[in-house]
Amino acid sequence: MKAFGYIRVSGKGQIEGDGFRRQEAEIEAYAKAHRIEVVHVYREEGISGTADEAHRPAFQAMVEAILRNGVRTIIVEGLDRLAREYRIQETLLVYLASKGIELIAARTGENVTEAVLADPMRKALVQIQGVFAELEKGLLVKKLRVAREQKREVTGKCEGRKSVSEAAPEVLAEVRRLRRTKPGQKQLSYAKIAERLNSEGRLNLNGKAFTATGIQMMIFRLKAK
């Protein structure tokens, strides 16, 4: 099983002291004992235990990563590291449970999410938050659909992925330049062009390295226009 670690300190003295080291050691010890791989530890620096999720940048980044990459477990040293104020603890716990994310307190070994879902009242809060999240998503989808339809009426185009010429015209110009040949000069292969672009730190529209196949498709589309 894989998990993320979450550690938080509120003051500068704790940042410079052993607060982070102690919490991380507790998390690693628990993970090792239970054969859990901690793939990353998110550090919340100088954030009060009374701050909610909207004011915790590391917490937000962690949840975003969880929803994107499939890790479904968070380990904290103890609930006081998640939040000191009970009201904030409950808010964060319900928020995590509503997204199917498990929280484990390393100090006690408790699966806190299971405890939340075992309590009928707290489980109801989780379900209510899930309903509102789904409603919010539905309203957003509707809003975006209306906006797309309005834009299509005005411009005749809206949906669909942007082409390379629209999203990265400078990359397209570079590919054209590299593919161009001079008399007596051998044309660069697709693989060589991809290698040159990657060496310059450029990325394709998916945010990944260029490949020979990707360059070939780009040139094919250019010729088809």
Average pLDDT, the chain: 77
Tokens at residue 76, please? 């904290």
**SS3 state of residue 81:** helix
Residue 20 clears pLDDT 80, i.e. is over it? yes
Region 72-82 average pLDDT: 89
Mean pLDDT of 90-108: 86
75 with 4: CB under 8 angstroms? yes
110-115 long-range contacts (CB < 8 A, ≥24 apart) are 112/79
Q: Give the angle 83-88-94 at the CA atoms, nearest 5°.
A: 105
What pLDDT was estimated at residue 28? 95
**Helix pair 86-98, 120-155: axis angle to 10 deg:** 60
Q: What is the pLDDT of residue 133?
A: 46
d(CA 63, CA 79): 17
The listed CATH number (3.10.300.10, 3.40.50.300, 3.40.50.1390, 3.40.50.2000) that belongs to domain 2-118: 3.40.50.1390
Please check whether residue 124 is in contact with residue 116, taking contact to mean a CB–CB distance below 8 angstroms.
Answer: no
What was the pLDDT predicted at 132? 46
Residue 58 has pLDDT above 70, yes or no: yes
Max mean pLDDT range (29-38, 112-121, 155-164, 171-180): 29-38
**DSSP classification of residue 35:** T
Name the percent of the chain lying above pLDDT 70. 71
Q: Does the pLDDT at position 153 exceed 70?
A: no
Find the mean pLDDT for residues 129-152. 59
H, E, C per residue of 161-203: CCCHHHHCHHHHHHHHHHHCCCCCCCCCCHHHHHHHHHHCCCC
The predicted structure's pLDDT at residue 124: 65
Segment of 57-66, 128-137, 152-161 carrying the highest mean pLDDT: 57-66
**Main-chain dihedrals φ then ψ at residue 212, nearest 5 degrees:** -60, -40
pLDDT band at 165 (very low <50, low <70, confident <90, very high): low
Q: Is the pLDDT of residue 174 over 80?
A: yes
Averaged over 218-224, what is the pLDDT? Answer: 70
